Amino acid sequence: MFPTKDNPEILLPPEMWPCPTFQPVRLLSQTRTAQLYLAVPKVHDRTTEEIPTVRATLSLDQVVVKLLAPHLSEEREARVLFRDEIRLLQHLHHPCIVHCWEAQEEGPLPYVVMEYIQGCDLGVLLQHQLDTHCPLPWTQSYRIASGILQGLVYLHNATDEQDRNLGVVYRDLAPANVLLSVQGGVKLIDFGLATHKHMVRFTAGDSLRGTFAYLAPELLEDAAATRLSDIFAWGVLAWETFTGQRLFDAPHPDAILRQLREKPILPVHQINADVPPELSDWIQRALERDRTQRPSRSEALEEAWSALAPTSSQIEESERDKPTLEERIQQCQEGSVEP
């Protein structure tokens, strides 16, 4: 299960693998700070010939093991950042948040075991819309935006064991951190930049961390990230999901930041005429550059948004003769998406 000619995707030698209950199957992705592995429960006393069969029977028990990148194992700042994410994840239990099964803060390589979501991230689906110039039916976009918003509301109101609000600010709500399951569910992932009351690190002067195209404009002026910043990021995601276009898109980071300050933001219904103006209006409010003009709380936004849910007849009309959202996500996962 470790680096071999037949399985080169496992990057750790066996003596470095830190998780005693799961064994790696393959590397899913890696960033500068972490490696993510698909893993299954450890199989003891099995012959080499038996392992593929056993693994197939455990398909429902697949998990993701996220490790601190080995080259950062001695870096205190990286370990603190990873530990802060673990401590937050262990308090989160919601259908729109990835579930944490177990975690280990100490040891040579801290790790967290999370549920494995079969599907794709929102960025893949958005890229398909860009490539085909074919936005989703607005009712499917509504489902995605609603799931993201439900997860965000939960985060903003999450509490600890003593029922004290954790004060969570996500700070990195972006397409790569929104997973879409083949069952049509929405899951928020990756809370490495989130701030909360159980964190150890100090974040002053840290406002420009995150994905530039989804940063709130006030962060460019060294303001601290707040829940209003998260609401702006939701507005960008919703705008892009409904229009099939990128809102702030430029070849260089400086140009993106300039767009965040200056680019006119057209209402969604002026780009996609199928979208009801009432929905478009709430997205536009979330995108106010003056944060005092945005909805003051994510739960107030969610309440207004839910009141505008499409009717069954609207869903039927919008999606007639088109793939379901679940079919689109399945196709994205398989790399065979069609308009």
Assess if residue 6 is contained within a domain: no
pLDDT at site 208: 61
Assess if residue 21 is contained within a domain: yes
Q: What is the pLDDT of residues 264-282, one digit of tens each?
A: 999 999 999 999 999 999 9
In 3D space, the residue among 138, 55, 158 whose CA is nearest the CA of residue 97 turns out to be: 158
> Is the pLDDT assigned to residue 46 strictly greater than 80?
no
Rg over CA atoms, the chain: 21
Q: What is the pLDDT of residues 176-224, one digit of tens each?
A: 999 999 999 999 999 989 998 877 655 444 556 778 999 999 999 888 8
> Is the pLDDT assigned to residue 334 strictly greater than 90?
no
Q: Given 115, 132, 150, which residue is the final one in a domain?
A: 115
Q: Both 187 and 202 in a single domain?
A: yes
Assess if residue 4 is contained within a domain: no
> Is the pLDDT assigned to residue 5 strictly greater than 70?
no
Instruction: Tabulate helix, strand, coil % of the chain (nearest 5).
Output: 40, 15, 45
Averaged over 86-93, what is the pLDDT? 94
Task: Burial-class residue 268 by CB neighbours within 10 Å (0-12, 13-18, 19+).
Answer: buried
Assess if residue 66 is contained within a domain: yes
281 noted as active-site residue: no
pLDDT at site 223: 86
Q: Given 65, 81, 115, which residue is the final one in a domain?
A: 115
**Count of the separate structural domains present in the chain:** 2
Q: Does 53 or 172 have the greater pLDDT score?
A: 172
Catalytic residue among 84, 131, 163, 172: 172
Q: Assess contact for 145 and 173: CB atoms under 8 A.
A: no
Provide, rounded to the nearest whole percent, the portion of the chain with pLDDT above 70.
Answer: 88
For residue 297, the one-letter residue type is: R
pLDDT at site 10: 60
pLDDT at site 3: 37
pLDDT at site 336: 52
Q: What is the mean pLDDT of the chain?
A: 88
pTM, two decimals, is 0.89
Assess if residue 177 is contained within a domain: yes
Domain that holds residue 19: 14-115
